[in-house]
Amino acid sequence: MIRPLRAPLVALACVTALAACGKPPMGQGAAPQGTPQVSTVVVQPQPVVLTTELPGRTSAVLVADVRPQVTGILQSRRFVEGSSVKAGDLLYQIDPATYQAAVDSAEAALAKAQATQHTTRLKAERYRELIAINAVSQQDADDADAALLQANAEVASAKAALTSARIDLAYTRVSSPISGRIGKSSVTAGALVTANQSSALATVQQLDPMYVDVTQSSNTVLRLKRAIADGQLGGATAKVKLLFDDGTAYPLEGKLQFSDVTVDANTGSVTLRAEFPNPKGELLPNLYVRAVVEEGTVSKALLIPQQAVSRDATGKPRAFVVDSDGKLQQRDLLTERAIGNQWLVTGGLQAGDVLVVSGQQKAQPGALVEATPYKSATDGEKLVSTVAM
């Protein structure tokens, strides 16, 4: 009874052995199923324009406070508040009656002085003729010459008084000192205004073009100067773009005018001033804006996606690259700044390195990986040239 069971057992053992022989040993033939997959890009140099976004405020190119030069009753206001005025336009009229009377009085005093001068001159001339024939004494001739000099001085004094009176009369017409847009008036007709009063009657501002004053760290200014001197940056174009507080961009481009030569002792910053055209009056004085200043151009910059960079326990940036054998290598990086969703790398990578962008969490340095090209999650376009390993 035992012999009939032995044959089926032998057959079953043979079938099991044949099934096992159909599988290749681990590590031979195809890659093992546990090989990590990573997405990579090839680091390529490219020209990059470096910009800095700085907070600032707008200010008018020219600002003039209109104040009276003489005291009097305001007769009328000759402008519309908020309108544009030109230099020399009449803004206010002060009652000129008393100043006109002063001019008339000065003219009369001048005429009197000129009449005295005329008679004194004739007398001095006659005495010069008589002294030649000893008809008058030398003292009388000297007195006549002195009287003429005094008459001349009185005429000059009367002319100066007349000029001053005419100036005061002209000041009763309060004119715009500059061209621009005038604000609200602080007085109305019938008000008493005084010469050189502290409060302005109105303010005129030239709004086209407009200034934008921003501040930048003195350390940043020094770093940029060193970078330009070392040839790392191309010459700055001095172009500036403007963003409003809500994030919208101002359509016209500005130009950097100057950088202050003094560092603020309290903040350690340097003031930069840019000038923007303002033909439509969109920019108003004291408006908060953000200025995007072009610092220069890096001709061969290395930009890498931010997600490719991790940090160690001390906060230093690092990344993984795939070598020619398909293995991971860890690199310590030097990152200068973020540009959009990328880092500008100044050390640790070279052109042509195959950088791991995603999937590095599954692998360790020295591990064999399967690399595929990385594509942006938003639009599917490659950030830089990619390669498949």
Decide if 257 is inside a domain: yes
The answer on pLDDT for 380 being more than 50 is no
Q: What percent of the chain has pLDDT over 90?
A: 41
Same domain, 157 and 225: no
Same domain, 193 and 83: yes
Cβ partners under 8 Å of residue 289, min gap 6: 55, 56, 57, 58, 212, 242, 243, 244, 245, 250, 283
Same domain, 112 and 182: no
DSSP 66-132: E--SS-EEEEEE-S-TT-EE-TT-EEEEE--HHHHHHHHHHHHHHHHHHHHHHHHHHHHHHHHHHHH
From 146-160, 162-176, 297-311, the region with the lowest mean pLDDT: 297-311
Nearest CA-CA partner of 373 in 45, 33, 42, 43: 42
Q: Are 335 and 345 in contact (CB under 8 A)?
A: yes
Same domain, 78 and 155: no
Decide if 88 is inside a domain: yes
* Residue 166, amino acid: R
Decide if 31 is inside a domain: no
Supply the pLDDT for residue 292.
Answer: 87
* Residue 123, amino acid: K
State the chain's mean pLDDT as an integer: 82
Same domain, 81 and 195: yes
Compute the C-alpha angle 278/182/201, nearest 5°. Answer: 150
3-state SS assignment for residue 342: strand
Nearest CA-CA partner of 41 in 307, 379, 367, 299: 307
Decide if 254 is inside a domain: yes
Same domain, 181 and 273: no
Same domain, 149 and 263: no
Q: What percent of the chain has pLDDT over 70?
A: 82
Supply the pLDDT for residue 30.
Answer: 43
Q: Quick: pLDDT tens for 32-52.
A: 556 788 888 899 898 888 777
Interatomic CA distance for residues 277 and 232, integer angstroms:
32
pLDDT-based confidence at residue 173 (cuts at 50, 70, 90): very high
Any idea what DSSP says for residue 36?
-
Q: For residue 359, what are its two tokens?
A: 């999937």
- CB-hemisphere CA count at 13 Å for 40? 26
- Comparing 180 with 265, which gets the higher pLDDT? 180
Same domain, 77 and 195: yes
- Comparing 13 with 54, which gets the higher pLDDT? 54
Decide if 32 is inside a domain: no
Same domain, 244 and 185: no
Q: Give the structural domain span for 268.
A: 51-61+206-297
DSSP 142-209: HHHHHHHHHHHHHHHHHHHHHHHHHHHHHTTEEE-SSSEEE---S--TT-EE-TT-SS-SEEEEEEEE
Interatomic CA distance for residues 257 and 212, integer angstroms:
10
The answer on pLDDT for 255 being more than 80 is yes
Instruction: Using the CB atoms, write b or e for 340-355: b if 16+ within 10 Å.
Output: eebbbbeebbeeebbb
Supply the pLDDT for residue 348.
Answer: 87
Supply the pLDDT for residue 1.
Answer: 39
Domain end position, chosen among 266, 297, 328: 297
Q: What average pLDDT score do residues 129-155 get?
A: 90
Domain end position, chosen among 280, 297, 314: 297
- How many domains, the chain? 4
- CB-hemisphere CA count at 13 Å for 382? 14
pLDDT-based confidence at residue 121 (cuts at 50, 70, 90): very high
- Residue 118: which CATH number? 1.10.287.470
Q: Are 193 and 264 in contact (CB under 8 A)?
A: no
From 102-111, 147-156, 201-210, 222-231, the region with the lowest mean pLDDT: 222-231
